[in-house]
Amino acid sequence: MEREQRKISIRLNGKEQNVHEFYDEIVAARDETSESDREFVPQPDKVINFNAIQEERKKRGQPFWDDGNREKAPKIPYKRKKKTRNYEAKRSFPTMLVMAIFSAIIVGISFGFMVLTVFTGGDQQSIEAGSTTASTIPAFGDGAVGLPTLAVDVVQGGAFSSQEKGELIASNIHKKGLAAVLTKSTDPIYMFIGIGGDRAQSTAISKLYEGYNQETYLKSYRVEGITIEDIETDVTNWFFDASHSFKEMMQLSVDGLTRDGAIITDNQVNVIEEQLSLLQGKRDRAFSTLPSSGQPHALAMGDALVKAGQGLENYVQTEDKQQLWVTQQELLHALVNYELLLSEWE
């Protein structure tokens, strides 16, 4: 009874129906639709293959001529392809060539340095033996203000712990008519028996001692100059002029002793005598400004240069090579006294 009171009637298409009946019709229609859908569910043999569809889409996205057969695909023109290879070859060739040359240079330098090290053993004497450059020629360093540097190549006959031992050996060499001078400011004391402007000249002098069974050692020797403030111009000029005469006399004495047929002319000796005469006339004024302790060494150096010139003059007159050894002896005296002079400013 209560249920019938809650019925609601609606009019549809001119026909009055209650809600319950309309609901039943809707449910019935839904059920029929569901049954119909179940009847047309695709069977397993009608399942859609999405992979195949995806592959088809990929094919459609490719260029129109790409059918998957690469044998029929368009090719790059033959000549163009060859031109590209040639361009790449030309571009890479210079780089490879430069790298090859650079590597060869490095290998060559390394090999040369290795050979030099093996054959010389790092011995400075062996390396300097082939050096005859102008840098080894005695020079006082033009343009310096003060007392200049004197660089020579000497033949050393020994080294001693005392002057007495050295003088004994030196006197024996003097008896043979050869040169020998002891240093006085070095430790140990060296005995120099020859002097040259470079290694070639000192080597030639050392060979003369082979006949006397005298051991020799060649080395470069430098008397380092110093810069002195307020030094008189007369002093500087005197030592620069002295260096010029020193070099000329050394060259002539070496040539006369080591080169057969070498001629020392009167004209050469006369030029040197004029230079030494000028030095003698200027030295008193120049040396007067030197420290009193250094003046004896400067005077001894000047006297040694004069005696070296006299040895050359006597050789020209007598052709006695003994006089050339006198020149060598006095040049070594000049070297040692110049070293003592410079030591007074240290």
Q: Output the average pLDDT for the chain.
A: 75
| Alpha-carbon span 233 to 105, nearest angstrom | 51
| Alpha-carbon span 307 to 326, nearest angstrom | 8
pLDDT, mean of residues 218-235: 88
* Band of residue 260 on the pLDDT scale cut at 50, 70, 90: confident
Q: Is the pLDDT of residue 35 over 80?
A: no
Q: Domain check: are 173 and 220 in the same one?
A: yes
* Band of residue 31 on the pLDDT scale cut at 50, 70, 90: low
Q: Domain check: are 210 and 313 in the same one?
A: yes
Tell me which of 199-203, 215-219, 290-294, 297-301 is least confident: 290-294
* 80-133: pLDDT as tens digits: 444 444 444 445 446 666 666 767 777 666 655 554 443 333 333 332 333 333
> Of 71, 90, 109, which residue constitutes the final position of a domain?
71
pLDDT of residue 48: 58
Q: Domain check: are 158 and 236 in the same one?
A: yes
Q: Domain check: are 67 and 143 in the same one?
A: no
Q: Give me the number of domains the chain comprises.
A: 3
Residue 98 lies in a domain: yes
Q: Domain check: are 57 and 180 in the same one?
A: no
Residue 260 lies in a domain: yes
* Band of residue 246 on the pLDDT scale cut at 50, 70, 90: very high
Q: Which of 125, 152, 126, 148 is nearest to 138 (CA)?
A: 152
pLDDT of residue 60: 63
In terms of average pLDDT, the best of 74-83, 226-235, 282-291 is 282-291
Is the pTM of the predicted complex or chain greater than 0.85? no
* Band of residue 28 on the pLDDT scale cut at 50, 70, 90: low
Residue 231 lies in a domain: yes
Element containing residue 170 per DSSP (H, E): helix 163-175
Domain that holds residue 202: 134-343
Q: Domain check: are 65 and 201 in the same one?
A: no
Tell me which of 12-16, 170-174, 235-239, 337-341 is least confident: 12-16
Q: Domain check: are 61 and 79 in the same one?
A: no
pLDDT, mean of residues 303-329: 95
Residue 128 lies in a domain: no
* 131-163: pLDDT as tens digits: 333 333 444 444 447 888 999 999 999 999 999
Name, in order, each residue with C-beta under 8 angstroms of 137's C-beta and a sequence gap of 6 or more: 151, 197, 198, 247
Tell me which of 162-166, 184-188, 216-220, 228-232 is least confident: 228-232
Q: Domain check: are 93 and 145 in the same one?
A: no
pLDDT of residue 10: 56
Q: What percent of the chain has pLDDT over 70?
A: 59
CB-CB contact of 240 with 279 (8 Å):
no
pLDDT of residue 328: 97
Residue 129 lies in a domain: no
Q: Domain check: are 300 and 158 in the same one?
A: yes
Q: Domain check: are 245 and 160 in the same one?
A: yes
pLDDT of residue 27: 52
Q: Domain check: are 165 and 260 in the same one?
A: yes
Burial status of residue 108 (CB atoms within 10 A of its CB: 0-12, 13-18, 19 or more): exposed
Q: Domain check: are 88 and 64 in the same one?
A: no
What is the token pair recorded at 35?
């049954």
Q: Is the pLDDT of residue 208 over 80?
A: yes
Residue 114 lies in a domain: yes
